[in-house]
Amino acid sequence: MLDTMIQESFRLAVKDILLENGFDELDIEEIEKRTDRMYEEETEELSEEHKGFDLDSYLERLDLLKDDIRLKAFRKLCSSYHVSMGRVEIQKQFETNILPRAKEIISIISPDLLESDLFINRIIEYGVQTIELETMLEGMKETLTILHELSIVLEVSTLEDVLTIQKEYHNARSK
């Protein structure tokens, strides 16, 4: 009730000021209508549930990996390395061949995921034949879904923002 009285007093004060400055009744009514519409739109926006980032577009790109030739070539590349190679040689091959190719595949889903171990590790597990394609894709889908739910809770609109917050949280916990 007090809010209504304050709003009405404010409306009347604004009306008096507008009349004193040469506005007529029709102009004032139009201004009030516009103001009311803007207020209603603003309250609608505030009351809408935050939707997070666009999960569907990322899931569509994830589905494209099923038939992507780069994924099959990556698995073949990983299987060409032997355990008999020395540790230094394997690490060199990992840094120069495997990791860049894994990141290239991840970038199909989103360049924002390039630094995310959550996705790179799954690609590498698939490449070294630790997991099958469906298992990898299902795990990535679950991870994207969890990140999407997190984006809703944190009220952020991009995957990059969620990953940044997740990384900062992880860094803070590891200290």
Give 60-114 pLDDT, tens digit per residue.
999 999 999 999 999 999 888 766 677 788 888 889 989 999 999 999 999 999 9
- Indicate whether 91 and 117 sit together in one domain: yes
The string of pLDDT tens digits covering residues 1-53 is 556 767 777 677 667 766 776 767 776 677 777 767 766 666 555 445 668 88
- Indicate whether 20 and 79 sit together in one domain: no
- Indicate whether 85 and 105 sit together in one domain: yes
**pLDDT confidence of residue 46:** 47
**pLDDT confidence of residue 33:** 76
Lowest mean pLDDT among 1-5, 136-140, 165-169: 1-5
- Indicate whether 120 and 165 sit together in one domain: yes
pLDDT at 167 exceeding the cut of 70: yes
**pLDDT confidence of residue 47:** 47
- Indicate whether 123 and 140 sit together in one domain: yes
> How far apart are the C-alpha atoms of 107 and 111, rounded to whole Å?
4
- Indicate whether 60 and 43 sit together in one domain: no
**pLDDT confidence of residue 116:** 86
Count of domains observed in the chain: 2
- Indicate whether 84 and 26 sit together in one domain: no
Q: Which helix (H) or strand (E) holds 68?
A: none
Q: Which domain holds residue 9?
A: 2-47
- Indicate whether 90 and 15 sit together in one domain: no
**For residue 162, what are the contacts with CB-CB under 8 A and spacing of at least 6?**
52, 53, 147, 148, 150, 151, 154, 156
- Indicate whether 64 and 34 sit together in one domain: no
- Indicate whether 60 and 36 sit together in one domain: no
- Indicate whether 36 and 78 sit together in one domain: no
Query: Among 69, 51, 21, which residue's Cα sits nearest to residue 148?
Result: 51
- Indicate whether 63 and 40 sit together in one domain: no
pLDDT at 172 exceeding the cut of 90: no
Task: Please tell me whether the overall predicted TM-score, pTM, comes out greater than 0.85 for this model.
Answer: no
Neighbours of 119 (CB within 10 A): 25
